[in-house]
Amino acid sequence: MKPAGLLRGAWLVLKKDWQIEWRTKARLTATVFFSLSTLLLFSFAMGPGIDVLREHAPGYLWLGILFASVLSLGESFRVEAENQSMTGLLLAPVDARSIFLGKVAGNALLLFSLALVLLPVTVALYDVNLSRNPGALALALALGCVGIAAPGTVYSAMSSNARARDVMLPLLLFPVLVPMLLAAVSATKFALTQDAQEQLPSWLKLLTAFDLIYLSVGFLVFPRVVEDD
C-alpha cells in the first residue's frame, strides 16, 4: 500500500474540508452574512448618491470579500487545531504541500462562491452593469480569490497556533494584499465599466503574477510552517 501522492492528497484534503463545510455550513453562512452587511454599510456610509456608489462598487466588493476572508481562513485552520488534526494528517501520512494546495483550493473556491453570491447584491445596491464583460469579471474574481487564499493559507496556519490569533491574521495578511487589492479592484472596475485605455489585460497579468508568486512561495514555505521540526 502506497500513501496518496501530492495531488491526490490535496484532493482528499479539499474533499474533507467540503464535507465539513457541507455538514456545518459555518464558513459560507458566516462569510456571506458578514460581507452582505459590509456592503450594506458601505452604501449607508456613502449616502444615497448612486453615481458615487457605482463608481466605487469594485472597491466595496473587494473589501467585503477581504474582510470575510479573515473569518473563512481562520475557520479553515481552527478545525485543524481542534483535536490536533493537522498532526493526524501529517502522520497519516500526507505531504504538507498537499495540505497547502488543498487548503488554498478550498479557500479560493469558498471566496469565489462568496463573490458570486455578492454580485447580484452589488447590482441591487450600487446599480452596476455585470453584462459588459462577464468573462473578464469572472477571471478577475477568480484570480483575486486565489490571491487572497495563497498567502492567507500560510498566515492562517501560523496564526491559528499563536496567541491572539484573531488579531494576528489581518495584521500579517492585509499589508501583503495591498497590491492584490489594487489590481483586483482595477481589473473588476474595467470589467464593469468602459476600458478606454485597454487597462484590463495588464491588471489581470499583475494579478496572475501575484498569484503565481504567492503560490510558489507558499508551496515552499508551508511545510516548514506546519511541520514541528
Rounded Cα gap, residues 2 and 165, in angstroms: 36
Site for other proteins in 180-219 (CB under 8 A): 180, 182-183, 186, 197, 199, 202-203, 206, 209-210, 213-214, 217-218
- Cell numbers found for residue 97: 504541500
Question: Is 12 one of the binding residues for other proteins (CB under 8 A)?
Answer: yes
DSSP SS3 for 194:
coil
* 196: DSSP letter: T
Query: Quick one: which segment of 14-22, 27-35, 36-44, 112-120 binds other proteins (CB under 8 A)?
Result: 14-22
- Cell numbers found for residue 195: 476600458
User: Quick check: 70 and 173 in contact, CB under 8 A?
Assistant: yes
Query: Quick one: which segment of 40-48, 108-116, 127-135, 156-164 binds other proteins (CB under 8 A)?
Result: 156-164
Query: Three-class SS string for 116-178?
Result: HHHHHHHHHHHCCCCCCCHHHHHHHHHHHHHHHHHHHHHHHHHHCCCCCHHHHHHHHHHHHCH
Torsion of CA 200, 148, 104, 96, to 10 degrees: 130
**Contact with other proteins (CB under 8 A): which of 14, 39, 154, 200?**
154
Question: Is 58 one of the binding residues for other proteins (CB under 8 A)?
Answer: no
Residue with the three cell numbers 462577464: 134
**Contact with other proteins (CB under 8 A): which of 79, 110, 191, 200?**
79
**Contact with other proteins (CB under 8 A): which of 3, 120, 134, 201?**
3
- Tell me the torsion sign for CA atoms 6, 8, 10, 13: negative
**Contact with other proteins (CB under 8 A): which of 44, 82, 135, 194?**
82
Q: With CB under 8 A, what is the number of residues at the site for other proteins?
A: 64
* 8: DSSP letter: H
Which amino acid does the sequence have at 197?
Answer: Q
Question: Is 51 one of the binding residues for other proteins (CB under 8 A)?
Answer: no
**Contact with other proteins (CB under 8 A): which of 38, 53, 60, 95?**
95
**Contact with other proteins (CB under 8 A): which of 10, 23, 105, 198?**
23
Question: Is 174 one of the binding residues for other proteins (CB under 8 A)?
Answer: yes
Question: Is 66 one of the binding residues for other proteins (CB under 8 A)?
Answer: no
Site for other proteins in 24-43 (CB under 8 A): 24
Among 105, 108, 106, 98, CA closest to 65: 108
Footprint of other proteins on this chain (CB under 8 A)? 1-4, 9, 12, 16, 19-20, 23-24, 79, 82-85, 87-95, 151, 154-155, 158-159, 161-164, 167-168, 171-172, 174-176, 178-180, 182-183, 186, 197, 199, 202-203, 206, 209-210, 213-214, 217-218, 221, 224-225, 227-229
